[in-house]
Chains A and B, each alone.
Chain A
Amino acid sequence: MSHSSSPFLRRRRTRRQVVGGLAGGAAAFTAGSMLPGTLLARKAPAVIQASGPLTYWGGLIFSDAANEMLTDTINQWGSDNGVETEVVMINQNETNQRVSAAVEAGTMPRALDMGLDLALLLSTSGQLQDVSDIYDTIGAAQGGWHESVDGAVAPEKFNGIRAGVPFGAGGNVLFRRQDILDEIGVTEAPATWQELSDVAAQAQEGAPGVYGLGLALSNVGDANLMVSALQSYGGRIADDEGVTCTISSPETMAFLEWVNAAWEAGLFPPGATTWDGAGDNTAYLSGQAVFIANTGSVSIAAQTDDPELFEATAYSALPAGPVMQVAPIGPNLRAIPTSTEDVDTVKALLEFLAQPEFLGEYYKVAIYGPVLQGQDEMEAFTSTPVLGGLRDLVLNGTAPGAPDVSNTAYADFNSNFTVPKMIQRIVVDGMSLEEAMAEAQTSGETIYAKYG
């Protein structure tokens, strides 16, 4: 049939007919689709109910394979044990908002994955169950917990309880473009921050359009890497008790001189002071940065999207400062809220998820370092360079916040991005180093005063 003979095409539709037809179609579509949606929601009430299936909020990471493996394993465990399970993968960027709403509404899941900061917040407000018993059992069965991990989740920091079972350690690893560095004869990773900026300057000279240091200086979590750099210069955020802010010091001044010199030398991309959380990733993946510090997601992205870049990348620990090396690790925890009634069932699930048979496979596709000594020789950590880097971080890294005390004031200080803001005042607003440091001190004092 020719087009011209089609009755539909022969009849010219008015705008009103088209609108009416579409509205009718949309209404019919809506009516038809609403019903299954409603039934589906009734059938699987998910998290907004106090009872029902064992709901687990898994932390979504940049690895579909890892996310699917976690979901399948929990569901398989449920099926084997006659427990109805529902796994909801939560984007880790939104965990705080969801948890805030769920705590207030009394709709927390039976168990969930979370980072250390959220665990700290929830445990101090009595929202998490103590899991000391399974923590000890799992540790004893697999060679013991790594010292840095054990220290990070010490009960004295979490209202006297073990707030969760660590399942993977995160932290920053230094990524470097070895192909560019080879051209200037640099084969080893820089050992100090000063060496890092020196090498970055050298590399930048030989590679036009490329910036030496793809490190964020903006108001995002990545920029708090500068806190570690500051501490490695001997600067401290607060005193040994973690009560009084002590950021103003000659050591902090030495750090500021280093970062300011690097900025003046043009080693940072100009947008680094306004980057979002993906700024360093984008800079590295677009080939515009020689060095970045990242948790490993960039490596996974490069592996599939830019194999050439992946091959050209080498990894190392964060550099040391004149005083010490600060490379904080951040264990991720599986925790049980106090609202959970069937605690033993959930603990059984968490124990199951800590089995080496599962984690051995999981680590291969995830972006975590080991938490137990028995995991060190797992294939994931011996065969994948970036995961090997994360293992080294766990073995040699420092506890979160160290040498400062990682308490709620410290967390608040960091979530206000006080150190990145101090740097911005110098490099963007042209403030003197002394003035910027004094301003940060005042800001820090206000924050620490809130927590006594």
Chain B
Amino acid sequence: MATTTAPPAAATGQPSGRLRSRLRTRTRRNLLTLIAVYGLMLLVAVIVIFPIYWMFSISLKLPREIYRLPALIPQNPTWDNYRELINERGYLTNIRNSIIVASSVTVVSLLISSFAAYSIVRFRYRFRGFVGRLILLTYLTPGSLLFIPLSIIVARLNLGNSLYGLVILYLTFSIPLSTWLLSGYFRSVPPDLEEQAMVDGTTQLGALFRILIPLSLPGLAAVGIFTFTAAWNELLFALIFITSEDLRTVPLGLQYLITGDVLLWGPIMAGAVLAALPVMVLYFLAQRFMVQGMTAGSVKG
């Protein structure tokens, strides 16, 4: 009598029952882990995105709806708050002023602090370390302690109520921090590369611009974004030193939407949405630089 026996699992290439069960358990476990991870990520995303959504949602509501019907979705969405900001409150001028100030501060700050950081990292001179630490200490002094002495200096130099005055003022805070941050980036680039370039005939300045700065682009981008954002958001000094309506920056424009104890929530949120856009675009464009390895590919043979 012929008997048929099932071929061994290994011979057919099929997993055995125990193995199948183990695989199923593992797959289930993986699936659960995946669900947990995605769930957590979703939760974090909601926590991060919700305030932005709420800001945008309020910006589309009129006061009565803001106060009386605090719903997640605007019931009667309107662009009136944006229209009021742009047509009646000259918010585009505020944005223009902020772009002027923040971009000027960023460009000048990057230029000066690149030289300063290069000097600290590559040259040898007395008190080099002390100067480096002093630069950081300058940055650590709170602005609120400095506004009265600074107001005296600003008045004597006749820099008050002007955008260039604000640029100079912001540079005094941004350059120390940028220098400190760039020092770190420059330090991590091997000096051999510059030395090799100098052996090949370039100057010290050439080595800085042709070797070090291109290799430090991610660092420069990060510092640039940080400087731009800080200048874009600064309120205290703008509040003290800018008096003319047509020289107000974005934070000042928003501040003036609060009169006494009344907050114009609709226009404030619309202004916040508009103020966030340039910075968001900047972050989007520079995100690759931000995450790129600093010296990736620099030592390829």
- Residues of A that sit less than 8 Å from B by CB: 15, 18-19, 22, 26-27, 29-30, 33-34, 37-38, 40-42, 44-49, 60-62, 88-94, 97-98, 100-102, 104-107, 222, 277-278, 280-282, 285-287, 294-295, 297-298, 300-301, 305-306
User: In the complex where A26-B103, A41-B164, A48-B159 touch, is A62 in contact with B259 (Cβ < 8 A)?
Assistant: yes
Enumerate chain A residues within 8 angstroms of B103, measured Cβ to Cβ: 26-27, 30
User: In the complex where A22-B285, A30-B100, A297-B261 touch, is A37 in contact with B67 (Cβ < 8 A)?
Assistant: no
A286 to chain B: closest CB distance in Å? 4
B152 nearest CB neighbor, chain A only: A105
Give Cα A49–Cα B103 distance, bound, in whole angstroms: 27
Q: Is B76 an interface position by the 8 A CB rule? A: no
Scan B152-175; emit 1 where CB is below 8 A from any A CB, else 0.
101110111111110000000000
Scan B125-161; emit 1 where CB is below 8 A from any A CB, else 0.
0000000000000000000000111011011101111
Q: Which 9 A-B pairs have the closest CB atoms?
A: A48-B160, A41-B162, A305-B63, A101-B151, A105-B155, A286-B67, A46-B161, A105-B151, A62-B259
B130 to chain A: closest CB distance in Å? 31
User: In the complex where A15-B285, A47-B243, A287-B68 touch, is A27 in contact with B107 (Cβ < 8 A)?
Assistant: yes
Interface size class of B (residues with CB under 8 A): 35 or more
The reply to whether A46 and B285 form a contact with Cβ atoms under 8 Å apart is: no
Interface residues of B in 217-267 (CB under 8 A from A): 239-241, 243-247, 255-256, 258-263
Q: Which of the residues A102, A222, A301 comes within 8 Å of B63, measured between beta carbons? A: A301
Enumerate chain B residues within 8 angstroms of A60, measured Cβ to Cβ: 256, 259-260
The reply to whether B151 and A104 form a contact with Cβ atoms under 8 Å apart is: yes
Q: Is B117 an interface position by the 8 A CB rule? A: no
The reply to whether A97 and B164 form a contact with Cβ atoms under 8 Å apart is: no
A293 to chain B: closest CB distance in Å? 11
Give Cα A75–Cα B262 distance, bound, in whole angstroms: 27
Q: Which of the residues B107, B243, B261, B286 comes within 8 Å of A222, measured between beta carbons? A: B261
Q: Is B288 an interface position by the 8 A CB rule? A: yes
Give Cα A301–Cα B154 distance, bound, in whole angstroms: 38
Q: Is B70 an interface position by the 8 A CB rule? A: yes
* A-B contact list, 20 entries, CB within 8 Å: A22-B285, A26-B103, A30-B103, A33-B96, A44-B161, A46-B243, A46-B244, A48-B243, A49-B158, A88-B244, A98-B239, A101-B240, A104-B152, A278-B258, A280-B261, A281-B261, A297-B259, A300-B262, A301-B63, A305-B67
The reply to whether A30 and B104 form a contact with Cβ atoms under 8 Å apart is: yes
Give Cα A102–Cα B241 distance, bound, in whole angstroms: 9
Q: Which of the residues A91, A98, A105, A306 comes within 8 Å of B67, measured between beta carbons? A: A306
Q: Which of the residues A44, A107, A294, A297 comes within 8 Å of B151, measured between beta carbons? A: A107
Enumerate chain A residues within 8 angstroms of B160, measured Cβ to Cβ: 45-49, 107
B159 to chain A: closest CB distance in Å? 7
User: In the complex where A40-B244, A48-B158, A107-B155 touch, is A33 in contact with B262 (Cβ < 8 A)?
Assistant: no
Q: Is B197 an interface position by the 8 A CB rule? A: no
The reply to whether B262 and A278 form a contact with Cβ atoms under 8 Å apart is: yes
Q: Is B64 an interface position by the 8 A CB rule? A: yes
The reply to whether A15 and B288 form a contact with Cβ atoms under 8 Å apart is: yes
Q: Which of the residues B99, B104, B152, B158 comes within 8 Å of A45, measured between beta carbons? A: B158
B252 to chain A: closest CB distance in Å? 10
Enumerate chain A residues within 8 angstroms of B262, measured Cβ to Cβ: 62, 278, 281, 297-298, 300-301
Give Cα A17–Cα B262 distance, bound, in whole angstroms: 45
Q: Is B295 an interface position by the 8 A CB rule? A: no
Enumerate chain B residues within 8 angstroms of A92, measured Cβ to Cβ: 259-260
Enumerate chain B residues within 8 angstroms of A37, measured Cβ to Cβ: 97, 100, 162-164, 247
A20 to chain B: closest CB distance in Å? 10
A279 nearest CB neighbor, chain B only: B261
A98 to chain B: closest CB distance in Å? 6
B132 to chain A: closest CB distance in Å? 29
Give Cα A104–Cα B148 distance, bound, in whole angstroms: 7
The reply to whether A88 and B243 form a contact with Cβ atoms under 8 Å apart is: yes
Give Cα A22–Cα B154 distance, bound, in whole angstroms: 32
Q: Which of the residues B64, B148, B158, B261 comes within 8 Å of A101, measured between beta carbons? A: B148
Enumerate chain B residues within 8 angstroms of A305, measured Cβ to Cβ: 62-64, 67
Q: Which of the residues A30, A47, A277, A280 comes within 8 Å of B161, measured between beta carbons? A: A47
Give Cα A358–Cα B281 distance, bound, in whole angstroms: 49
Give Cα A30–Cα B163 distance, bound, in whole angstroms: 11
Enumerate chain A residues within 8 angstroms of B161, measured Cβ to Cβ: 41, 44-48
A92 nearest CB neighbor, chain B only: B260
Give Cα A317–Cα B288 distance, bound, in whole angstroms: 63
The reply to whether B162 and A38 form a contact with Cβ atoms under 8 Å apart is: yes
Enumerate chain A residues within 8 angstroms of B288, measured Cβ to Cβ: 15
Give Cα A68–Cα B294 distance, bound, in whole angstroms: 55
Enumerate chain A residues within 8 angstroms of B159, measured Cβ to Cβ: 48
Enumerate chain A residues within 8 angstroms of B148, measured Cβ to Cβ: 100-101, 104-105
Enumerate chain A residues within 8 angstroms of B162, measured Cβ to Cβ: 37-38, 41-42
A237 to chain B: closest CB distance in Å? 24
A305 nearest CB neighbor, chain B only: B63
Enumerate chain A residues within 8 angstroms of B67, measured Cβ to Cβ: 282, 285-287, 305-306
Beyond A48-B155, A295-B260, A305-B67, 8 additional contacts (C-beta under 8 Å) are A19-B285, A34-B104, A37-B164, A48-B154, A62-B260, A92-B259, A101-B147, A297-B260
Enumerate chain A residues within 8 angstroms of B99, measured Cβ to Cβ: 26, 29-30, 33
The reply to whether B239 and A97 form a contact with Cβ atoms under 8 Å apart is: yes
Enumerate chain B residues within 8 angstroms of A297, measured Cβ to Cβ: 259-262
The reply to whether A306 and B259 form a contact with Cβ atoms under 8 Å apart is: no
The reply to whether B100 and A34 form a contact with Cβ atoms under 8 Å apart is: yes
Enumerate chain A residues within 8 angstroms of B244, measured Cβ to Cβ: 40-41, 44, 46, 88
B226 to chain A: closest CB distance in Å? 17
The reply to whether A106 and B155 form a contact with Cβ atoms under 8 Å apart is: yes
Give Cα A258–Cα B59 distance, bound, in whole angstroms: 41
Enumerate chain A residues within 8 angstroms of B68, measured Cβ to Cβ: 286-287, 306
A122 to chain B: closest CB distance in Å? 15
Enumerate chain A residues within 8 angstroms of B255, measured Cβ to Cβ: 91, 94
Give Cα A280–Cα B155 distance, bound, in whole angstroms: 39
